[in-house]
Structure 1
Amino acid sequence: MFNSIDSQEKIVLAKMAKLLTKYSNRVIKENGDGKSLLECSGLSSLVDEYNAFLTPYSFNGQWKNDNSTFNAGQAINEICYKISSNKKALSMFLNEFLSRIDKIDSEDICSFENYLEILGFKLDIKEKYDFYGTKYEFSLSNYIDGVNERQKDVSYLLNMINEKNNGLITYYEEAISTYGNAEYQGCISNCRVIFEKIFAALDTVNNDYAKGILISTKESVPVGSSTTPKMSSKGIFTYWLENKKGFNRYRLFVTMYSLMSALGSHGEEIPTKEDALLTLRVTEDILIWYFQQN
């Protein structure tokens, strides 16, 4: 059986590189454009290796001919793969590339935004006007502070799911993939499934996710309390409404599961892109907490 599957981040980066390839001819139009792109990205060490692929023309005296070795798409894919482990280098390259595009096709904007967000970046778009009409300035910023630390946390989560709950990795990968494809309800539904299955497995009697959460958080009645709630969701939330304390992690986790059910499988509302990203990030954070605590 074939078991070696690329990480979801690597898959998303490959999709990102494919999108960049589509726009490579808009960025690399003349000889020297590829060299300038690399140098302005801080990647001058790669110029010699990729200059032939990034040079569109050759000259025979004064005659301008197509360069047979020109293949900007291949070069961009290889460069993205080569620098993928260095987030600063990747950020600088993507930012420089995007800054050289004056228009992104409307059908690609959402894909650019979603893939970049999964990688930890945000696409910034500014409109500008001149005699010839509307043009756009594209740039990149960190979607969250500490993007490198975030990637380490996500790598840790992937490793722990693979080690402890190998059968669930597909749901996490599907959550990321569906978000990248703007299928926001699908993203939320996959988050709910992996969330439910991990915590339900802790309740060996009834396979109840809520009881599993209580087992995981190890929370109990605060010291000095005069009342003891029934250890159920209703009992715990009633206790909190009366006392405004206790079971803090439990309430957060159960509420998040309720949100995922409402916006995902139950379809109470049509989730937005922001709803899906919130759900994905909070699911990651809760599961990272769970694996670190247990």
Structure 2
Amino acid sequence: MDRLDEISLSKIATVLNKQTIVHTDSNSMWERILSNSGQSQLYYEFSRFLNPYSYNNNWKNYNRHFEEFFSAINSILKIIYSKGKNIEEFSLFIGSIIEEVRVENIFEDNIGDVIYEKCRHYDLSGFFGESSDDECIKLIKEESREDFQTLLKSLHVLNFDITYSKGGLKLIPFTEQSNQVSRNPSLLDEWLNKNYPSIAEMYQEAINNYSSGESVSCISNCRNIITGLFSHFKDNGSKSWIRGLQKLSTDTNIENVKVANNIMQGSANKNIPFETDNEFNYPRFKLFYQLYSLTSDLGSHSTEAPKIDGVLCPENTTMNDALLCLRMTEDILIWVIERLKQYEQN
């Protein structure tokens, strides 16, 4: 199977090939994008596939090589990305593409009706002219056409996001948690495949579900990643994954807690003769367990809900929730990678 980032690059190329978000309406467009990002050499290498027209004196004709646009742009993306080793140049290139996107092209034709229903603006230009940047990006992320959503999710996988500022779209990065371990999904996947292949499959499935817009399935995958990963560190014969979490956690005094469940129940400090009002809080253990609870409530248990006056009141799981859970799960993977460097030495 292709690397996860390579799949995302292919999806970006597919969106660009559709010519819905970014219209290649002249032979100068991709020369401009590539030159602005310092990749003019790639333009000269692939120009015959990037230019929609050929010229014979004053006659403008359709360029049949333009039919290979997808293959060309996909190759360019892979060359610049260089398997995640060339992020700075890749960021410049994608940023140049995003700056070419006209806001009106990212919405379906009925966007006028949508914004009138939402906020009584009569047209798109009026909304963007009078609304804050936060309100604009909210509308973009909620109401943009499917192609733009695919582009956005693919960029998320590659640790980029899009925002709206000063009248246009801008590329922004997700922050890295660790200077030692990149949040690059392919590197995390590589580590999991080497050490925990079944968890690697679950991680790939989580990203694929996110890319496909399956929020509940993505979050359910995250829950299984958490429980599956920590299960590898529990004692022989132990039934619960949280014993593995307890053994990996670096919280003060956690190794002396006889029953891990007592931490969340609030009884782990029972019978300890504290001389001050301060007690052991076990913050790392509680944080990881709370993420497990979140992924349970919004994922596999999302259809379970309280009932009031005969009506079930379930949580509404969104793609924003899925991204939150996926990113936090990746943070746990990074934390475990760093933790095991000391754990294995003890």
TM over 0.5: yes
**1:158 aligned residue (189, 194, 197):** 189
**2:262 aligned residue (234, 241, 255):** 234
Match of 1:181 in 2: 212
- Going from structure 1 to structure 2, the CA distance change for 1:147 and 1:111 (only over 3 Å counts) comes to farther
Match of 2:148 in 1: 109
Match of 1:68 in 2: 64
Give distance in 2, aligned partners of 1:146 and 1:253.
Answer: 16
Match of 2:244 in 1: 212
Q: Please give the secondary structure, in 1, of the residue aligned with 2:64.
A: coil
Deviations 1:12-59 (A, max 9, x none): 221122112212795321222222221112111212201111222222
Counterpart mapping for 1:58-97 below 5 A: 58-70=54-66, 71-85=68-82, 86-97=86-97
2:36 counterpart of 1:40: yes
Deviations 1:196-240 (A, max 9, x none): 1121232221331111111222656379xxxx7552313554146
Match of 2:286 in 1: 251
2:262–2:268 Cα contact (<8 Å) kept: no
Range with bigger deviation, 233-242 or 186-195: 233-242
Deviations 1:147-177 (A, max 9, x none): 9977456444222211111122111011111
1:237–1:251 Cα contact (<8 Å) kept: no
**1:18 aligned residue (5, 14, 18):** 14
Deviations 1:82-135 (A, max 9, x none): 11131122222222222223212422232222221221111124696xxxxxxx
2:73 counterpart of 1:27: no
- Going from structure 1 to structure 2, the CA distance change for 1:146 and 1:171 (only over 3 Å counts) comes to closer
- Going from structure 1 to structure 2, the CA distance change for 1:150 and 1:218 (only over 3 Å counts) comes to closer
- Going from structure 1 to structure 2, the CA distance change for 1:291 and 1:37 (only over 3 Å counts) comes to closer
Give distance in 1, aligned partners of 2:183 and 2:328.
Answer: 16
Q: Please give the secondary structure, in 1, of the residue aligned with 2:65.
A: coil
- Cα deviation, residue 74, structure 1: 2.4
Match of 2:225 in 1: 194
- Going from structure 1 to structure 2, the CA distance change for 1:119 and 1:56 (only over 3 Å counts) comes to same
- Cα deviation, residue 143, structure 1: 2.9
- Cα deviation, residue 142, structure 1: 1.5
2:206–2:222 Cα contact (<8 Å) kept: yes
Q: Please give the secondary structure, in 2, of the residue aligned with 1:264.
A: helix
CA RMSD of aligned residues (A): 2.8
Give distance in 1, aligned partners of 2:232 and 2:289.
Answer: 15
Range with bigger deviation, 242-251 or 83-92: 242-251
2:15–2:21 Cα contact (<8 Å) kept: no
2:246–2:254 Cα contact (<8 Å) kept: no
Q: Please give the secondary structure, in 1, of the residue aligned with 2:336.
A: helix
- Cα deviation, residue 291, structure 1: 2.8
2:246–2:260 Cα contact (<8 Å) kept: no
- Name the TM-score, length of structure 2 as normaliser: 0.72
* Structure 2 residue ranges without an equivalent (≥5): 108-144, 271-277, 306-314, 341-346
Give distance in 2, aligned partners of 1:148 and 1:55.
Answer: 41
Percent of residue pairs identical: 32
Match of 2:110 in 1: none
2:220–2:296 Cα contact (<8 Å) kept: yes
Range with bigger deviation, 190-199 or 209-218: 209-218
- Going from structure 1 to structure 2, the CA distance change for 1:274 and 1:283 (only over 3 Å counts) comes to same
- Cα deviation, residue 246, structure 1: 3.6
Paired positions, count:
278
- Going from structure 1 to structure 2, the CA distance change for 1:290 and 1:222 (only over 3 Å counts) comes to closer
1:222–1:246 Cα contact (<8 Å) kept: no
2:98 counterpart of 1:52: no
Match of 2:133 in 1: none
- Going from structure 1 to structure 2, the CA distance change for 1:180 and 1:265 (only over 3 Å counts) comes to same
- Going from structure 1 to structure 2, the CA distance change for 1:58 and 1:170 (only over 3 Å counts) comes to same
1:27–1:97 Cα contact (<8 Å) kept: no
